[in-house]
Amino acid sequence: MSVTVDARQFADSPAAYFGHSWHAMHHMPADELETLQLAALQMRFEELRDAIPTLAAMVDEQGIGALAGLDDVVPLLFQHSVYKSYPASLLFKSRFADLTRWLDRLTTHDLSSLDVSGCGTVDEWLDVLDEQTELRVAHSSGTTGTMSFLPRSLREWDLMFEAARCGMFQFSDPTGAGGAHDGEYFELIWPLYRHGRSAIMRMPEMGMKHLLGSEERLHVLRPGRMSSDAMLMAARLRAAAARGEVDQLEVSPALRERRAEFEREQQEMAGSLPRFINEVAQELAGRRIWLLATWNVLYGLAEAALDNGLEQVFAPDSLVTTGGGAKGQQVPDDWEETVKRFTGVSRIQHAYVMSEITALNKLCEEGRYHFEPWIIPFVLDPEDGSPLPRDGEHVGRCAVFDLVAATYWGGFISGDEVSLSFDGCACGRTTPHAARRIERYSEKEGGDDKITCVASEDAHRAALEFLTGELD
């Protein structure tokens, strides 16, 4: 098979290309993988360079005609802030036609004829996009008082979870002997809302087919929807509070009309996590579950369950996944042991996750995060942004190109500082790998008003209180 044909199959369905084996994904000889990645990168560049207006403008400005090597794409990687490069006032003034026009410059999907004139809030805008287009936009948590919107479409979501499924067997089938594990599914314990449009909140909906098989295997704490407007208000409140400007926050008339809805959401938030986990644990005892949450949520769930005498509850081939790091909190030494004692799993899966890419990059036995093969990682000089050599280990700004992205541009520069190695890993995997300690540059530079995972629940609660209080 020619490299070109291979590259298409590889990028258009990584899971199928590697025979649905996570082991195979990480054991292709490094030079072969790089050849494959370069061919796939060139293919995406050719497909997208004229189809995404923002990219086309960058290509023109940089005068780049072709990509001869992987590093040639670096000047064309999007800054992470590109996905929130619209004026924040468009959101607050409900100028959704303008926002659509902005988003249209970032996707191959044609949004020019979309009618969003009836939209007064972010939720309504995303409703229209969900109903009338292939896009299933993922937004950020809005930590800085505004939100980024990534125009991922159904196609990429599907490929993402088809591939994510392979990594679900990291511990239960380490050598990939079990093949595609057809018909095997997980019961998802989801201590969050059923619906929502943030990258994480899209998971139950987008991953259901590949990971759960059907709705019956989904066990949620809150059956309703986490409002994107409430999330945004949470972030704005926090930012305003930090500046002593809460009094100046304005609530748009469209939000005012949704008061009853926010009150329902607020009532749902009162849903007790300990009661939920105790009920779910009893219902699912002995079954194969998947539990995905930040360390503090996992720890809280485990402590509540252990208090009720629930130990070693689930099937041993269950999976517990975490990501997101400590976020500046004191992590108790025994948190992993506590979670393992409750669930009955022997190991916790750690993943380096960015909402902008379609991969959960998993930690190996040697404590290194391995990038999934359809992600080309780069490490950039933190001051001038130039790529550091693709051999040995270097510390710098992490950038990636996600080859699965076929309707938006997969290249972007993160805000993370990583120590990235291109040499083989002691674990035997051939893919580039990053050290466990990952920091955000914005926090290194003296801190920003980022909401941590723990605080975000509080911030959301505060936003709902503000919204319902404000509307009295």
Partner 1 sequence: MSQTLTELCAPALVRGDLIEQDLVTFGGRGGAPFLAPDPQRLIPLLPLKDPSRLEDIQTLPFEEIVAYLAELGSALELERNPHLQQALEASEQFSDMTAPLVRSSFEQLPALFAPELVREVADSTIGIDHLEGWVPRRMSDRRTASVRAFGARAVHIIAGNSPLIAALSIVRNAIARSDAIIKTPSNDPLTALAIARTMAEMAPDHPITRHLSVAYWKGGDTEIESLLYQPANVEKIIAWGGFASVTHVLRYVQPGLELISLDPKRSATIIGPEAFDSEDALREVAVRAATDVGALNQLGCVNARVIYCASGTDAPGVERANRLGQAVYDALIALPEHVSTAAKRFDPELRAGIEALRSSPDWYRVIGGSEGEGAVIVSQLDDPVDFHRSLSGRVANIVPIDDPLDALHAMNAYTQTVGVYPDSLKERLRDLAPLHGAQRLVSLGYAADPSVALPQDAIEPVRRMVKWIVDESCDLRETRPLWDR
Strand-strand pairing, 433-435 and 138-139:
unpaired
# binding residues, partner 1 (CB under 8 A): 36
Amino acid code (one letter) for 350 = H
The CB-of-127 to partner 1 minimum distance in angstroms stands at 24
Q: Which residue, 268 or 449, is less far from partner 1 as judged by CB?
A: 449
Stretch touching partner 1 by CB under 8 A, among 12-20, 82-90, 316-324, 329-337: 82-90
* End-to-end CA separation in angstroms for the chain: 67
The CB-of-9 to partner 1 minimum distance in angstroms stands at 31
Cα–Cα distance for residue pair 125/130, rounded to 1 Å: 9
Quote the tokens at residue 3. 């490299």
198 secondary structure, DSSP code:
B
> Considering only residues 91-120, where is the footprint of partner 1 by CB under 8 A?
98, 101-102, 105-106
Q: Please report whether residue 385 would count as binding partner 1 according to CB under 8 A.
A: yes
Residue owning tokens 């995303």: 126
Q: Are 246 and 240 in contact (CB under 8 A)?
A: yes
The CB-of-447 to partner 1 minimum distance in angstroms stands at 8
Q: Please report whether residue 13 would count as binding partner 1 according to CB under 8 A.
A: no
Cα–Cα distance for residue pair 435/420, rounded to 1 Å: 7
Q: Are 400 and 357 in contact (CB under 8 A)?
A: yes
Q: Please report whether residue 86 would count as binding partner 1 according to CB under 8 A.
A: yes
Q: Please report whether residue 329 would count as binding partner 1 according to CB under 8 A.
A: no
The CB-of-470 to partner 1 minimum distance in angstroms stands at 20
Of the candidates 311, 244, 250, 242, the one whose C-alpha atom is nearest the C-alpha of residue 282 is 311
Of the candidates 380, 411, 397, the one whose C-alpha atom is nearest the C-alpha of residue 445 is 397
Q: Which residue, 130 or 448, is less far from partner 1 as judged by CB?
A: 448
Contact track, partner 1, 365-384, x by CB under 8 A: -----------------xx-
Q: Is 328 exposed, middle or buried (0-12, 13-18, 19+ CB in 10 A)?
A: exposed
Q: Please report whether residue 451 would count as binding partner 1 according to CB under 8 A.
A: no
- Distances from the Cα of 139 to the Cαs of 11, 20, 24, 439, 462, in angstroms? 24, 29, 32, 21, 20
Of 222, 368, 397, 433, the residue at the interface with partner 1 (CB under 8 A) is 397
Q: Which residue, 31 or 110, is less far from partner 1 as judged by CB?
A: 110
Q: Please report whether residue 146 would count as binding partner 1 according to CB under 8 A.
A: yes
Stretch touching partner 1 by CB under 8 A, among 14-22, 141-149, 151-159, 279-287: 141-149
Cα–Cα distance for residue pair 309/321, rounded to 1 Å: 23
The CB-of-450 to partner 1 minimum distance in angstroms stands at 12
Q: Please report whether residue 79 would count as binding partner 1 according to CB under 8 A.
A: yes
List of residues 6+ apart from 279 with CB closer than 8 A: none
Which conformational region is residue 333 in: left (phi greater than 0), alpha (psi within -120 to 50 degrees), or beta?
alpha
Q: Which residue, 78 or 295, is less far from partner 1 as judged by CB?
A: 78
Q: Which residue, 52 or 467, is less far from partner 1 as judged by CB?
A: 52
Stretch touching partner 1 by CB under 8 A, among 203-211, 239-247, 299-307, 429-437: 239-247
Return the biggest CA–CA distance within the chain: 67
Quote the tokens at residue 348. 């916790």
Q: Which residue, 35 or 442, is less far from partner 1 as judged by CB?
A: 442
The CB-of-250 to partner 1 minimum distance in angstroms stands at 11
Q: Which residue, 86 or 352, is less far from partner 1 as judged by CB?
A: 86
Amino acid code (one letter) for 162 = E
Q: Which residue, 367 or 385, is less far from partner 1 as judged by CB?
A: 385
Q: How far is CA 223 from the centre of its chain?
A: 21
Contact set with partner 1 (CB under 8 A): 54, 57-58, 61, 78-82, 84-89, 98, 101-102, 105-106, 144-146, 243-245, 382-383, 385, 397, 413, 415, 441-442, 445-446
